[in-house]
Chain A
């Protein structure tokens, strides 16, 4: 199993050292490594599914024994959660690699691109298999730095390189929190081992303030990595990278790291209800904000980016309400259709040479394969039966309903409402994107054409995945539930509640949204003069990103700034000036004698004397700096001889 993360990392070095010689053949290493990794993880998963126990292996990394001993492990832990993540990461990454051979064909830095693609995948796999928090953190940071390189792949343009920097810095904010969280848990438990910490939290031996603090700090890392409110701002900017990278970031490697962390440390989060509430509320806010933003973007990749933010919030919310299985399942299904959508968008961008939907339109005839797969992806995202998104979304809404009604948690009600509204908005913005891209007349430059086979094949594979993987989580009979459940005991069983009303209701919501979307954007039967009409303020509100940037400036900085400034001014005029003037007058009176005697006579003499002395001694000493190395050496040896003599005599 440890081969799976190792291979892509080895391939990174292989491409780095030999890639240049195989002009534009560098992808061979990466595809081979990840292909083997995929087969291995498939075998391992089948073994696991047929009844093999979870694997835990550890080697001592190093050991300290200062007072109390500190034992650091380098180990792996392979269970169903890891297995599912392995499958997702290797599948998506393999397809992205293949797709990139077409998409990046003419790129100047083709080789290095594949090197980082491999490392990106490898570090994510390393993070997933880690059995202790420190190793997980190593993988976590590696993922972060790879995303920096890949987002900034076209660094010649200032915009791209600053997007990469923004991604790293925003992530840093959360990572600091996460590091402190890890330390807090370590201080409380004395171990970095995830399993051990989880068990301690579950048995109630670890609890109280330190658990809550640790959980909240860990969640800070999740907020930044998985792009939750208020740190989601880096993800849309990360669209500056090449589209295959966006697909990889969004579907498999980067942003799901945060969700994975919550899932992995779930027992810790569960033991601290306050943290779960915070998780649920943050996720609810995020999913609504991001879905709204996706509705007004023109850049097709930004639509998908905000959609990812919103869907990640779905997963986070599922974990927040305790619907562990549903959250991981949504991660699993989302990887397929979001990778599909991104690669489809990449194909469209490849053809139209523009990211903006206002330069597209009418691509239905020109790109039949892309069109069909994109439709499948959109329906999957919108949650239409029987595509993947349908099953996982209903699980989440069902989980929220159960938590809200049976446990009576207020935050679960918030999640329930937010999730339903978001489901509606999701279907609406995807309808809008599809219509603006594929219907109507072509508004861009040149003649669009279908993408090459290396790009279309991954699309169909992912489309197939989008159609089928949902059935793994089919209510009652789907095997996913027996694979992924809360470690320790399976006390969150949502099947009893899974009645027919919920999925039908969710489907109705989605279909309604699609219908409304068609009325608005295709038939144009209904129109809002959106900038001037009664709802204009809503549009402007969303289009300006909820004035979040303005809020940071005007809402926080100014109100503090102005009263403080006014108060300061008043204090300045009335209090300080009086004092200052008084002091000034007294000072003037005193200063004349001071100047004449103290300054002129005493201080000046001391200062000038010191300067003169320094100059004089410097002049003498500079003759020692002859510049002749051998003279220096002679002095050195003479000094050594003198010291040796001194030591010998005493």
Chain B
């Protein structure tokens, strides 16, 4: 298969993720959208590794790293969201602007 298939899929997924991050009100959905973006990157990495990698698995290994980091990031993110929810009974991201001047 030509690599452009993967790249288009990845770009679509990334764009959906960006849209979610920018437009969603719910903090949990924002976190999910970030996951989408990260996974689109994974698709890129794996695709390139499969197509051009000369007997190397660097792309796959990086993808595994990203999955691990993403898990940690979501863990921290959800913990923050839960704490905010406990304090304010809301996870609306527009209301989380307490730290501005």
Query: Can you list 11 contacts pairing A with B, beta carbon distance less than 8 Å?
Result: A626-B97, A627-B98, A627-B99, A628-B94, A629-B97, A630-B21, A630-B22, A630-B30, A630-B93, A630-B94, A633-B22
Bound CA span A630–B30, Å: 9
Q: Tell whether B12 is near chain A: CB-to-CB under 8 Å.
A: no
Q: Tell whether A407 is near chain B: CB-to-CB under 8 Å.
A: no
Nearest-neighbor residue (CB-CB) of B24 within chain A: A630
Known: A625-B101, A633-B22. 6 other contacts (CB 8 A): A622-B101, A628-B97, A630-B23, A630-B93, A634-B22, A637-B22
Quick check: B97 and A627 within 8 Å, CB to CB? yes
A630 → chain B closest CB, angstroms: 5
Quick check: A629 and B93 within 8 Å, CB to CB? yes
Bound CA span A633–B18, Å: 9
Interface size on A, residues (CB 8 A): 10
User: A625, A634, A637: which contacts B100 (Cβ < 8 A)?
Assistant: A625
A637 cross-chain contacts in B, Cβ below 8 A = 18, 22
Nearest-neighbor residue (CB-CB) of B94 within chain A: A628
- Report the tally of A-B residue pairs with Cβ distances under 8 A: 27
Bound CA span A634–B22, Å: 6
Q: Tell whether B32 is near chain A: CB-to-CB under 8 Å.
A: no
B3 cross-chain contacts in A, Cβ below 8 A = none
B101 cross-chain contacts in A, Cβ below 8 A = 622, 625
Bound CA span A626–B30, Å: 18
Interface size on B, residues (CB 8 A): 13
Seen from chain A, the residues whose Cβ lies within 8 Å of a Cβ on chain B are 622, 625-630, 633-634, 637
A627 cross-chain contacts in B, Cβ below 8 A = 96-100
Quick check: B21 and A633 within 8 Å, CB to CB? yes
B18 cross-chain contacts in A, Cβ below 8 A = 637
Bound CA span A634–B23, Å: 9
Bound CA span A555–B21, Å: 72
A635 → chain B closest CB, angstroms: 10
A633 cross-chain contacts in B, Cβ below 8 A = 21-22
A626 cross-chain contacts in B, Cβ below 8 A = 97, 100
In chain B, positions 1-43 with a C-beta closer than 8 Å to chain A are 18, 21-23, 30
User: A622, A625, A629, A634: which contacts B96 (Cβ < 8 A)?
Assistant: A629
Bound CA span A637–B19, Å: 10
Bound CA span A622–B94, Å: 18
B93 cross-chain contacts in A, Cβ below 8 A = 628-630
Q: Which 5 pairs show the lowest CB-CB distances between chains A and B?
A: A627-B97, A627-B100, A625-B100, A622-B101, A634-B22
Bound CA span A629–B31, Å: 12
Bound CA span A633–B20, Å: 11
B94 cross-chain contacts in A, Cβ below 8 A = 628, 630
Bound CA span A626–B100, Å: 6
Bound CA span A101–B59, Å: 56
Bound CA span A46–B77, Å: 60
In chain B, positions 64-98 with a C-beta closer than 8 Å to chain A are 93-94, 96-98
Bound CA span A630–B94, Å: 8
A630 cross-chain contacts in B, Cβ below 8 A = 21-23, 30, 93-94
Bound CA span A629–B96, Å: 8
A554 → chain B closest CB, angstroms: 57
B21 cross-chain contacts in A, Cβ below 8 A = 630, 633
Nearest-neighbor residue (CB-CB) of A640 within chain B: B18
B23 cross-chain contacts in A, Cβ below 8 A = 630
A201 → chain B closest CB, angstroms: 48
Bound CA span A626–B99, Å: 9
Nearest-neighbor residue (CB-CB) of B101 within chain A: A622
Bound CA span A622–B99, Å: 12
A86 → chain B closest CB, angstroms: 42
Interface bits B32-60 vs A (CB < 8 Å: 1, else 0) = 00000000000000000000000000000
